[in-house]
Amino acid sequence: MSGSPGRCVVVRHVLYEDLGVWEAELLAHGYEVEYLEAGVDDLAPLADAPLAVVLGGPIGVGDAALYPTIGAEIALLRTRLDADLPTIGVCLGAQFMAAAMGAQVAPGTLEIGWGTVEVTDAGRATSLRHVEGAPVLHWHGDACELPEGATLLATSEATPVQAFARGNALALQFHAEHDPERIEQWLIGNLVELAGHGIDIPALRERTREVADEAVMAGIALLREHLKTLQ
């Protein structure tokens, strides 16, 4: 890319799951950030924006019969992925990308809280090297298979596909974008899920304080290096 990179269209499914610490980095790289609210806005710009980021949320690929926005997003993602347009998916967004590439998405091992991922040899040659050994936020129950033609960048014992890439597409099952200063919104918004799974909320809050600085630095470094590969 030369000059201003243009628009970054961001599909958001719940208000508190936004770009987090990534937003300032995108703006610093010259992108104009435009949020599209799933279920409210016309998502058509997702198909051909210069850069697209699809964020997380409590719905899943298996809920497509209940939520029309899911099928619409996957179809639009398939269009842009077939054109190899720069695309980043986080958690739910990564699962939508996998589905758009023809891979299976199904219930997996529940992961909620701070942990690490194992970066593959291929991942170490990419911006994923910045999260090797660093704390990242996991918050998912579904998991995806590795799409055909994609490269596995990160894995874990609980979730074999933690990150993958294909062309200009990068998918992250974990939340590298999360702003730890906003954790309280996540704790409030996900009360029913957290209580239902017996998650210790005070312990998660305290752990967030402990890892905040390291997590933020790793997440920003990951995005910063990735964006440079698009320019």
| Block residue for tokens 């990951």 | 222
For the question of residue 197 being annotated catalytic, the response is no
Rounded distance between C-alpha atoms, residue 196 and residue 166, angstroms: 36
The answer on pLDDT for 118 being more than 60 is: yes
38-42, 136-140, 227-231: range with lowest mean pLDDT = 227-231
- pLDDT number for residue 231: 61
* pLDDT band, residue 1 (cuts 50/70/90): very low
74-109, pLDDT tens digit by residue? 999 999 999 999 999 999 999 999 999 999 999 999
52 within 8 A of 87, measured Cβ to Cβ: yes
In the DSSP assignment, the letter for residue 195 is H
181-201, pLDDT tens digit by residue? 999 999 999 999 999 999 999
Instruction: Read off the CATH number of the domain in which 134 is found.
Output: 3.40.50.880
For the question of residue 175 being annotated catalytic, the response is yes
* pLDDT band, residue 5 (cuts 50/70/90): confident
Residue 12 within any structural domain of the chain: yes
55 within 8 A of 19, measured Cβ to Cβ: yes
Mean pLDDT across the chain, nearest whole number? 96
Residue 1 within any structural domain of the chain: no
Neighbours of 123 (CB within 10 A): 23
* pLDDT band, residue 131 (cuts 50/70/90): very high
Rounded distance between C-alpha atoms, residue 189 and residue 195, angstroms: 12
Residue 199 within any structural domain of the chain: yes
* Structural domain span for residue 126: 6-228
* pLDDT band, residue 3 (cuts 50/70/90): low
Residue 201 within any structural domain of the chain: yes
Query: What is the full DSSP assignment across 161-194?
Result: -SEEEETTEEEESSBTT--GGGHHHHHHHTHHHH
Q: Number of structural domains, the chain? A: 1
For the question of residue 29 being annotated catalytic, the response is no
Query: Structure pTM?
Result: 0.96
Q: Which one of 17, 23, 111, 177 is the catalytic residue?
A: 177
The answer on pLDDT for 2 being more than 60 is: no
Q: Which one of 13, 130, 175, 226 is the catalytic residue?
A: 175
Residue 23 within any structural domain of the chain: yes
Q: Which one of 91, 130, 140, 178 is the catalytic residue?
A: 91
